[in-house]
Structure 1
Amino acid sequence: MSLVITTYVPEGIVMASDSRQSMTIESKTPDGKSLSKINTINSDNVYKTYLLSRKDKNDKPIFEIGVQSFGQDLLGGISTASHIKRFSEEKLTDEDNVTTIPKKLVEFFRELFPTADTGFHVAGYKKEEKISVPYIYYCHISQNIIGNRKNVKSDGKLAYGATWSGQADIITGLINPIIAIDDKGNQKVIKPAPPIIWDAVSLQDAIDFSIFAIRTTIDAIRFQARPKNVGGPIDVLVITPDGSKWIQKKELRGE
């Protein structure tokens, strides 16, 4: 499991993720009988936020697109990060942009792992006439969800907010209203949530919120009797019309 969040405000896009890779191990007795499944932590150093970029011959960026992965991480015994790198090298061209990558990404993974319970956020800007327009997409491999755009209203106007995926119950419970369903299937708000005025949120506040969402989840599950599926360092990538920047990113190190 994972927790990834994409926060989109007027100044830019923030993508943050944890670093934990957990797995479920099923062992057997010498005579072949199955034992209880064990959920264990395999690593706290896995990348789940990636920057896909291309530059022209003058070293000017052609596109800078953020991608996040969540859900099942080991596909064919190899991390999603390795597959993303291969995807970038084999499938992307100078003609691609944030609107073409989601379809290519899902098709690439569905060809290799059609039943994988793995999803993605894809985010970036596309120049339309003289305006840099933000695009935020939600995609999923096994559900064959391609290009579900999250940052537009029903009337086509831009919407600002945050999209999170993975182990999302804690941040959802803090931010969203509590809704109950009656016997007839009707929804009723039991506890309203104070609104966040996303249109007025600054880029720095979007960074702080994204880190808060993941840090709060990590801290909460530490005390709860549940699998510790979110943890490790928090990586944060920012994308604006002017370019991209890693606010924090784990690096290789020695002792």
Structure 2
Amino acid sequence: MNGKPEAFAPGQLDAFRGRGFALIPLHKPDDRRDGKPVGKAPLKTNWRIAAPLSLDEAKYHMEVGGGNVGVRLARSQLVVDVDPRNFAKGEDSLARLQNSLGVDFDNFPVVETGGGGRHFYMLKPVEAEVVGQLSEFPGVEFKTEGRQVVAPGSIHPDTRRAYRWDALSVPLSEISEAPGALLSAIAKSVASEGQAVAGVRSPEMLGQLLALLDVGEFADHDDWLKIMMASHHATAGAGRQEFPLYAPFNGPPPL
């Protein structure tokens, strides 16, 4: 971490007023579970169906409760989550994606994340099913219903820097539908008969399934590994948050 740790900025949440985005409580930046940081994870296990916070409640959760706030996305909402730390060495996945599609994400509201990434807020048709990732563009995720992103005003657990709206970006009040070229590129394919296609299960479905597993039935390393690989494939990598939170185990048993 460079420089002095930043403070919560609850005023950043004001942009969500009356915009139809659901705010939910996340853990405190320093919180850990089983030794792992959970500062960006939902505070409630039923966060996908729990009543959202009002704007005042969300601010109170930050200012008084000392917790981060998340944005629970709906079917009509899409966030392109960009994390340069996951780019391939010497590559800029975001630039390559935009160039390949002939689009410009700077025409959308942007949050500068505490980890040095960006969240581009967009709308999409409710009937449009999308994949969570495109393998050729590592470090770029596409999040919609069943996912959440850390809201501006929150503090990154590692860098201790605040998430903030890019002051030069389009305001959330002018949010528009994602470019057609992007929606076409991330459209979820329907599996052919007998063919296993990645991304056919949402992170929400994965979490529900994992919560039902009995840890006693997965004591064997090979069985655990199969579950992990199947979870990754079924969600096209989008279930990475759900796996450590809901799985009845914290890693492979000793060999």
Q: If each structure's helix is expressed as a fraction of its own residues, which one has the higher value?
A: 2
**Between Structure 1 and Structure 2, whose CA radius of gyration is higher?**
1
TM-score range, shorter chain: under 0.3
Normalising by structure 1, report the TM-score.
Answer: 0.27
Greater RCO, CA 8 A, separation 6+: 1
Normalising by structure 2, report the TM-score.
Answer: 0.27
Q: If each structure's strand is expressed as a fraction of its own residues, which one has the higher value?
A: 1
